[in-house]
Amino acid sequence: MLAIQSLSVAYGESVVLSQVNMDVPQGRVVCLMGRNGVGKTTLLKSIMGLLRPRQGQMCFEDADITAWPPHRRARAGIGYVPQGREIFPYLTIHENLLMGLEALPASARQPEVLEQMYSLFPALKVNPRKVAGTLSGGQQQQLALARALVRQPKLLLLDEPTEGIQPSIVQEIEELLHQLRGKGDTTILLVEQFLDFALGVADYCYVMEKGAIVLEGPANDLDQGQVREYLSV
């Protein structure tokens, strides 16, 4: 689904990603872990086209997307839930979901998908006309997920979806990821620091340190002690 080869990204003269190689197989959940500031979010922004790499290549479904702008990647089937959620706070829940459909051509927008999102996230259905900025942190995270999923993306990028979220919502997000993986229609690249959550949903894991991949392997085979060392401050 996604292949990254020798990707390097810099902010000015400061190199943030260095020669990153990563494969995200179709229908799988792949997790990227690491401390704050090691380059995880930079990698997701690069995949989404928000940052231009200094070198390297990104291929999505065998197409070289390295030079594609963000809107073209969105239309090709890449969805992104950023860290901090970044919902539209002055729009209603329903309007936020409609904004999620804007990336699609008009002919591909399916209004019935909105009802599917309300079924997935019942808390959002209670009052769809509620202003999104008044929602709790957990509800805003659910809205951010629904806004991305309303387009039925082939690849979903999730940046720390459990950050600052109450345990009950974390459990719901974990169940949702298992459900998506079970259907096999959505491939997921998850950035996460909560190790137990990551290992509970991921098929394969990468660990990043100072902008480079330093450890990788199937989730069930990883040395958790070694991973915790890379995650500890």
| Within-domain flag for 118 | no
Tokens coding 54: 């200094």
* pLDDT over 70 at 205, yes or no: yes
Residue 221 lies in a domain: yes
Q: What is the pLDDT of residue 5?
A: 95
Environment class of 50 (CB within 10 Å of its CB; exposed 0-12, middle 13-18, buried 19+)? middle
Task: Give a yes or no: residue 224 inside a domain.
Answer: yes
By CB atoms closer than 10 A (0-12, 13-18, 19+), residue 96 is buried
Q: Give me the chain's average pLDDT, please.
A: 87
Among the listed residues 153, 185, 218, the one whose alpha carbon sits nearest the alpha carbon of residue 23 = 218
Distance CA 177, CA 141 (A): 14
Which DSSP category does 131 fall into?
B
Structure confidence at residue 100 (pLDDT): 81
Prediction pTM value: 0.88
Q: What is the pLDDT of residues 176-196, one digit of tens each?
A: 888 888 887 889 999 988 888
Lowest pLDDT segment from 3-17, 93-107, 184-198:
93-107
Q: Calculate mean pLDDT across residues 134-157.
A: 89
Answer yes or no: is 197 within a domain. yes
Position 70 in a domain: yes
> CATH number, domain at 187?
3.40.50.300
Q: Which residue has the tokens 């079970």?
A: 182
Give percent of the chain above pLDDT 90.
36
Q: Can you give the residue range of the structural domain that contains 214?
A: 2-89+153-231
SS3 102: coil
Q: What is the pLDDT of residue 30?
A: 94
- Work out how many domains the chain is built from and give that number: 1
Residue 194 counted as domain residue: yes
Instruction: Work out the average pLDDT over 75-79.
Output: 90
Quick one: residue 64, left, alpha or beta (phi over 0 = left, psi -120 to 50 = alpha)?
A: beta
pLDDT tens digits for 18-59? 999 999 999 899 999 988 888 999 999 999 999 999 999 999
Asked whether residue 178 is domain-assigned, the answer is yes
Sign of CA dihedral 64, 41, 50, 176: positive
For the chain, how are helix, strand and coil distributed in percent, rounded to 5? Answer: 40, 25, 35
Rounded mean pLDDT, 104-111: 65
Predicted confidence at residue 102, as pLDDT, reads 76
Q: Would you say residue 105 lies in a domain?
A: no
Segment 55-72, tens digit of pLDDT: 999 999 989 999 999 989
Could you give the percent of the chain with pLDDT greater than 70?
Answer: 96
Outline where DSSP puts E strands in the chain.
Answer: 2-11, 14-24, 29-33, 55-60, 63-64, 78-81, 155-159, 187-191, 204-209, 212-218
| Whole-number pLDDT of residue 191 | 92
pLDDT confidence tier of residue 213, bands split at 50, 70 and 90: very high
| Cβ-Cβ contacts under 8 Å for 23 (sequence gap 6 or more) | 2, 3, 4
DSSP readout, 181-194? HHHTS-EEEEE---
